[in-house]
A and B are shown apart, each in its own frame.
Chain A
Amino acid sequence: MKTGIRAELRADASRAPDTTKIESSPGFPLVAIRALSKYYVRGEQVIPVLIDIDLDVYAGDFVALMGPSGSGKSTLLNMIAGIDKPSSGELKIGGVDIVSLGDADLAAWRAANVGFIFQFYNLMPVLTAYQNIELPLMLTSLSRFERRERVETALALVGLTDRQEHYPNELSGGQEQRVAIARALITDPMLIVADEPTGDLDRVTAGEILALLDRLNRELGKTIIMVTHDPKAAEAAHRVVHLEKGVLVD
């Protein structure tokens, strides 16, 4: 069953006409960050957010980024996800220097390679669970039938088949986050970034979501980078990286 789900997602993804899909090379990190810095300039004041970061994340890894508020962990995650750009340094994902990509290329790259999970789920309130999961597939050339197959597979994976016609406001927080996870998974990205995925959930539901992320990592081989405040959540990761005042401390 587990192999079946993976095979289905992979097979359909291969049919998408996307040429920007990254691949991991054995022995090379999927995410390679070198001397990366980010700072904001306000008038004459320079505010550093990230300072000289070096970090490697390998394919199939599950990394938790931890640190106090304002330490720069979300900023680092945003850069890895390709939604923010560093002020200096190198950032390669699957060998692709995403810093040099233009807006349109970067959008196409994100669509093909990154699955997003947000703290507040960020679902479209006017779309059903099914339609929210289907949304990223609108950027592919998959047929309606192929999209349906994939969405149903993803819904089954997150255990929400019976809730597919429900709107976000008809779902619990945990269910909304499951829909968001299914949406992140639907294009079969190599990399999943999660920004405080359990930050808005109670302990039990958070545990379920973390278990689901763990399944994605172990069974589907997804590389997951997760920002969290919660040491309990960080325990689900294979590796924990701490940031303090923009500096990697270990």
Chain B
Amino acid sequence: MYIVLLVLKNALRHKLRTILTIVGIVVAITAFGLLRTIVDAWYAGANASSSARLVTRNAVSLVFSMPLTYEQKIRQVPGVASVALANWFGGVYVSERNFFPQFAISAPAYLDMYPEFILTPEERKAFLADRTGAIAGRKLADQYGWKIGDQIPLRGTIFPGTWTFTLRGIYDGADKGTDQSTFFFHWDYLNETMKKQFPRRADQTGVFVVQLKDPQQAAEVSEAIDATFKNSLAETLTETEKAFQLGFVAMTEAILLAIQAVSFVVIVIIMAVMANTMAMTARERYGEYATLKALGFGKGFVALMIFAESFAIALAGGAAAVALTFPLARAFADAMGSLFPIFFVSEDTVIMQLGAAILVGFVAACVPAWKAARVRIVDGLRAVA
């Protein structure tokens, strides 16, 4: 208790210096937390993916579609439980700035494969019954103030014309890692319209989502599906949903690496600042440490006091930074709109932030504690004189 008192009083001795150091730690660790959260958001799609689902796409590029007839053949591949269609729509809601992902899906197969999208039975029934019906994630609906029954017009960019959907359901995520910013409507509606307007583009889909009977068989089933369509006009590339999502992440890997590097550089910088503070603090108190040693306190006690003070300052900054990261992350997510569908501060990030604070406290105290422990009593006492 006495040591705690001494440490706290020492930490607050130069209030301005301590406050400025804590502010520096708060800024650095908050920045670290936000940057880690951005990186997490990038990987959120991959992390939320199921190991029991595969995605089959055109082997040449995702831009090219595949014939609907593949569905039946994929269904016959051993190990496949069910197949659903999904097509990127790429429509514009009111203005180009209002970006959010839209997919034409073959409900109910698709919804059955994604139990993490939670709809009430009434909403699900209403959606399935309405050919022009749509469902949207809670975050998306809240962002635009949509209510059930609202007419939502989308201007097609890949599929020309203005498409008007009736919102029949708002889904919630099973957990906070579930994307709640996507808009789904019926693939049949898209396909029937294509049949009327552009018959050559009908009966095509962007991807097949495959539900596996056994996730352990992902590799074998993927190979079997791709082998089925070898040497056809549209060869396929089948991969796990996670690998499919990571393919998108890989396109921006350099940016991610830069963000990760910056997040760690920030910690190294604050480590240097904190080390300087602790070095100054210890140097000013050599006389006091010498007095303590003369009174019979050991080297370990002196080192412990410096470590404890360093940890106290670093953890105060770390705790404040963690507390600040949550509202800042929320504000950042709001400002970004649907750019990051899943954006939240994870437990891992909080642990890393606190770990960074402890590391900063430890590293900053090492040299001053070592020097103070080694300083000869007579030299320290001379410093007082």
Contact = CB atoms under 8 A, between A and B. Distances in A.
Contact of B6 (A108, A119, A124, A139): A124
B6 A122 contact: no
A183 B292 CA distance: 12
Interface stretch (A23-31, A110-118, A227-235): A110-118
B309 to A, nearest CB: 11
Given A111-B295, A122-B288, A84 B9 contact: no
Given A118-B384, A120-B384, A110 B291 contact: no
B294 A116 contact: yes
A118 B296 contact: no
Interface in A104-135: 104, 107-108, 110-112, 116, 118-120, 122, 124-127, 131, 134-135
B289 to A, nearest CB: 11
A179 interface: no
A119 B385 contact: yes
A81 interface: yes
Nearest to B287: A122
Contacts of B46: none
Given A104-B298, A107-B296, A139-B296, A84 B10 contact: no
B359 interface: no
A138 B10 CA distance: 18
Nearest to B377: A83
B13 interface: yes
A110 B294 contact: yes
B296 A124 contact: no
Contacts of A125: 13, 288
Contact of A122 (B13, B296, B381): B381
The range of chain A's interface size is 20 to 34
* B5, B297, B299, most chain A CB atoms within 10 A: B297
Contact of B291 (A118, A134, A138): A118
Provide the main secondary structure of the chain B interface.
Answer: helix
Nearest to B382: A74
A139 B293 CA distance: 11
Interface in B268-293: 287-288, 291-293
Given A83-B377, A83-B378, A127-B9, A122 B291 contact: yes
A199 to B, nearest CB: 9
Given A122-B288, A122-B291, A127 B6 contact: yes
B2 interface: yes
A126 B378 contact: no
A187 to B, nearest CB: 8
A111 B296 contact: yes
A107 B297 contact: yes
B6 A136 contact: no
Interface string A89-111: 00000000000000110011011
Interface in B332-385: 376-378, 381, 384-385
Contacts of A134: 2
Given A118-B291, A122-B287, A122-B384, A138 B378 contact: no
Interface of A: 75, 78, 81, 83-84, 103-104, 107-108, 110-112, 116, 118-120, 122, 124-127, 131, 134-136, 138-139, 183
Given A78-B378, A84-B377, A111-B295, 4 more contacts: A122-B287, A126-B13, A138-B2, A139-B295
Interface of B: 2, 5-6, 9-10, 13, 287-288, 291-299, 376-378, 381, 384-385
